Amino acid sequence: MSVSQSSQTMEHQLYFDVIRERRSVRSYDPEIKISREELIETLRQATMAPSAANLQPWRFLVIDSPELKQKLLPIAFNQQQVVEASAVIVVLGDLENIGMAEKIYSQAVDAGFMPEDTAKSMVERYTGMYSSMPEEAIRQKVYTDGGLVSMQLMLVARAKGYDTVPMAGYDKQKLMEVFRISERYVPIMLIAIGKAAKPGHPTVRLAVDDVAFFNEMPKE
Amino acid sequence: MSVSQSSQTMEHQLYFDVIRERRSVRSYDPEIKISREELIETLRQATMAPSAANLQPWRFLVIDSPELKQKLLPIAFNQQQVVEASAVIVVLGDLENIGMAEKIYSQAVDAGFMPEDTAKSMVERYTGMYSSMPEEAIRQKVYTDGGLVSMQLMLVARAKGYDTVPMAGYDKQKLMEVFRISERYVPIMLIAIGKAAKPGHPTVRLAVDDVAFFNEMPKE
């Protein structure tokens, strides 16, 4: 069953409804298949997120084959959404993403967004920076940029009338082995995407006073 | 000057316009001051983002004092947006955020979202997990959750008619010293927020084909 027509109308949702209505959904209608075309469009919009030096270190392994979702199930500690959702997106970070710098900055030149010499000097600068950067610093960027794109992905999905749940609990090593993911990638999270069968549970948030401070940190 | 009236109307923006129009803005109108009330509301909506185990490890040091923005300027390598924007939000991750678990899960009980014994066993489970977790794993969660909340923050700001720019390049050690930030926090990024004086530059993105793969990773 395709839901592309209903999702079209959902694209006109107001921004704050999308923010309010996004909730982690753990129960999906297994009959609903999101088309690859729609998944690709969702990813295209998600990747409009910013990233450090615009290096876009995110990679996505989209698992929509029923056999592979079954293989993923025990890796994700048998959370049923893995098989019931239309797809599970493994969000990865590429630790060698600096290798894409030349491609990205050439595209900026081709699009007329940047003069060629600016692009060249930026690629040289970033390549130099990354070659002397501790791996820990690269990991940090990749995890943070992975968070940025994942949030936008979940919001885009909601705006299209779908639901998601981010999963931080799974066997990372097993995931890497079973899906033959090279060590150059670090797993960031799994995101199940589909049509909700049951709404997500409401959750609480700390008051802003507990997490935000003006001009100085609170005394320890 | 207050812009709260114009920003009210912007809240009704369509979701996809917000995604499309969010762009990193580096030139701000220094006359525009976003009120603290509005900054707090922006943070409140941003923190509706999900996080691992709902532990919300994000913290925000909001710098809106002109003197402190001047102090931050050299730390952020003299990027003018630091002083021109209405505020700069230092997004931090709390490595000891597990200490908030009891507060968060009690609130869920009080809100009627969870029975008391479920909350209690979840707090025990997470506390146990975190106490045996390598610091590297906690850092990863904090960086990723920091990315999630930062993306939502930038989108909420845009929906309210403001602009932002995330900054990954700054002297972290100096930031921690000058603003007396305890070692329990890791800096994730700086986000300048204000009213654009000049629009952001358009930027390119890799094609989805370059970053997304269905059911198996590409051959190396």
- SS3 category, A214: strand
Tell me whether residue B84 is in a domain.
yes
Q: What is the ipTM of this complex?
A: 0.94
- Whichever domain contains B10, its CATH number is 3.40.109.10
Per residue in B97-140, pLDDT (tens digit) is 999 999 999 999 999 999 999 999 999 999 999 999 999 999 99
Higher-scoring residue by pLDDT: B8, B181: B181
Does the residue B21 lie in any domain?
yes
Does A77 reside within a domain?
yes
Which positions ≥6 away from B203 have C-beta within 8 Å?
A54, A108, A113, B23, B24
Residue B114 in any domain: the answer is no
Q: State the best of A90, A204, A209, A220 to mutate against chain B, taking most chain B CBs within 10 Å.
A: A204
Query: Is residue B204 in a domain?
Result: yes
Helix (H, G, I), strand (E, B) or coil at A6: helix
Are A151 and B213 in contact (CB < 8 Å)? no
Find the domain containing A64 and state its range. Answer: 4-211
Specify if A59 maps to a domain. Answer: yes
Is B189 part of any domain? yes
Residues 80-139 of B with CB under 8 A from A: 100, 103-104, 107-108, 111, 113, 139
Q: Per the CB < 8 Å rule, is A147 touching B151?
A: yes
Which of A36, A49, A204 has the CB atom closest to B151's CB atom?
A49
Residue A202 DSSP SS3: coil
* Per-position pLDDT tens, chain A of length 220: 344 434 444 455 788 888 889 999 999 999 999 999 999 999 999 999 999 999 999 999 999 999 999 999 999 999 999 999 999 999 999 999 999 999 999 999 999 999 999 999 999 999 999 999 999 999 999 999 999 999 999 999 999 999 999 999 999 999 999 999 999 999 999 999 999 999 998 999 999 999 999 999 998 7
- What string of DSSP letters covers chain B? ---HHHHHHHTT-BHHHHHHH--B---B-TT----HHHHHHHHHHHTTS--GGG---EEEEEE--HHHHHHHHHHTTT-THHHHSSEEEEEEEETTGGGGHHHHHHHHHHTTSS-HHHHHHHHHHHHHHHHTS-HHHHHHHHHHHHHHHHHHHHHHHHHTT-EEEEE--S-HHHHHHHTT--TTEEEEEEEEEE-BSSPPPP-----HHHHEEESSPPP-
pLDDT tens-digit series, residues A1-16: 344 434 444 455 788 8
The domain tally of chain B equals 1
Residue B8's region, left for phi above 0, alpha for psi from -120 to 50, else beta, is: alpha
**Does residue B139 lie within any of the structural domains?**
no
**What SS3 class is residue A113?**
coil
CA distance B46 to chain A (A): 9
DSSP 8-state code for residue A64:
-
pLDDT at B1: 38
